[in-house]
Structures are given as C-alpha cells and as structure tokens.
Amino acid sequence: MKDWVAIVTGASRGLGKAIALAFAREGAEVALLCRRNYAEAAEIARRIEREGGTAWACQCDVADSEAVGRTIDEVFRRAGSIDVLVNNAGVSHSSLLLKTDEATWDEVIATNLTGAFNCTRAVLRFMVLRRKGHIVNVGSLSGMRGAAGAAAYGASKAGLIGLTLATAREYGNRNIAVNAILPGLMPTEMGNAMPSASGERILSENLLGRGSTIEEVAAFVVRLVELEGISGQVFNLDSRPWRWT
C-alpha cells in the first residue's frame, strides 16, 4: 500500500483509530477525520509519524457537506491522490421509537447516513478521474435485523447498505469498489454504552459466544481493499446469523 492515501472518518478513537493505524502500518498515508476529538486524532497522527508513517488529522463534521468538500479537497491537494475512503463515523442513541424526538433522529441519520453520502460523493470526484478507488462503509447487523430501542440507528445502517449497493453498481465500470462490513459487538465507546441486557442478549445469539475485536475488524478492512475483484458486497463480521428477523 505504499503511496496509497486512505481517509478514515470517525478516526479519533475506537474502530476508526484501529483502521487508521492498520493502514499506516501497511505503508499508506492516512487522513484522520473527526468531528470533536481533534486533539486525540492529532495524537494518533503523531504516533503514526513517530513510527515512520505519514498521517494528519482533520476536524470535519461529516454531516456538513460544505465542510466535507473543503476537507476532501485539502486532502487531495496535500497527498495528490485518494485511494481509500472508510466511512466509519457514527453515533447512536438508545430510546424507544415513541420516545425518540426529531432532533435525535436527525442527528443519527445525518451522521451515519448523510455523512457517508457526503464523503462518498466528495471522494468520487477524484476516484472517477483516476478510475481507481475503494470505499468501505461500516454498517451494523442492526440495519438488517433491527434492534429494539435503536430505530434511528438501525434505519441509518439499513440506508448505508442501500447506499453501498447503489454506489457499487453506478461506479463499478470506473474500477471503484464499494463494500460494507457489519462488525459484531465491539469494546468501543458506542458498544460499552449499550445497556448491559442488550449486550448480553447479543452475545447469547453469537455462534462463537463473543463479539468482534477492534483489531480483527481493522485487519479485515485493510485486506478487503487490497483485493481488486470484490465490490457490491456486505460482509457480516458478526457471528450472529444473518437473517431478516
């Protein structure tokens, strides 16, 4: 991956941090996008630099299309290319549908789905010209199976799957691969914030009796973009069975 340039959103902590580090270890330059935790993202970039890589942090709200456009333009000016986009930024609020207010719904959809749309549209301008690119969208099995208390989150992740499949169809003839991954329950800030009863239920449904580790999901993302012939796929990395129930 030497000379590749990867953009990772939601990269200041958790899975985004692990994905950024994994790309850097493979020799890619990495742009770490975050909304609030710029100091943390900048420290990760400095760590990558200390280890001999190239990285920088960018503060950007992915729900803001104009900010995304400016940020992606700056990444291209700085690095000269954009090879990979990982749409990882996401938020979740736990509440029953009748107790979910419009502001909460809008925030979740804006970050998880519209944010991915904004970033994808921005990088496609450059990938189409080069006829090369990889986009990975970080989804959730909640988008396939649903989850009580997570209507907004599940809807956003279901929409992300639709965005993945449509983009793959539209730009496959330009050699741009677009895939989605569905990690299992992970020890991230979002995963740890889940009610204990929900976490226990999820783990009880896992065929292996465990969730995903951050490191194995990050490794999967890196290996996925190294493969040239895979696009339009939704990879279930959760050991819960995939079904529409």
> Which residues are known catalytic residues?
153
Q: Which residues, listed in sequence order, are joined to residue 43 by a DSSP beta bridge?
A: none
Q: What angle do CA 118, 110, 33 make, to 5 degrees?
A: 55
DSSP state of 27: T
Residue 206's alpha-carbon distances to 40, 150, 209, in angstroms, are: 33, 19, 5
Q: Are 108 and 160 in contact (CB under 8 A)?
A: no
User: Is 13 in contact with 37 (CB distance < 8 Å)?
Assistant: yes
Distances from the Cα of 94 to the Cα of 23, 148, 158, 197, angstroms: 32, 9, 17, 13
Q: How many CB atoms lie within 10 A of CB 189?
A: 11
- Whether 62 contacts 119, CB under 8 Å: yes
User: Alpha carbon 237 to chain centroid distance?
Assistant: 14
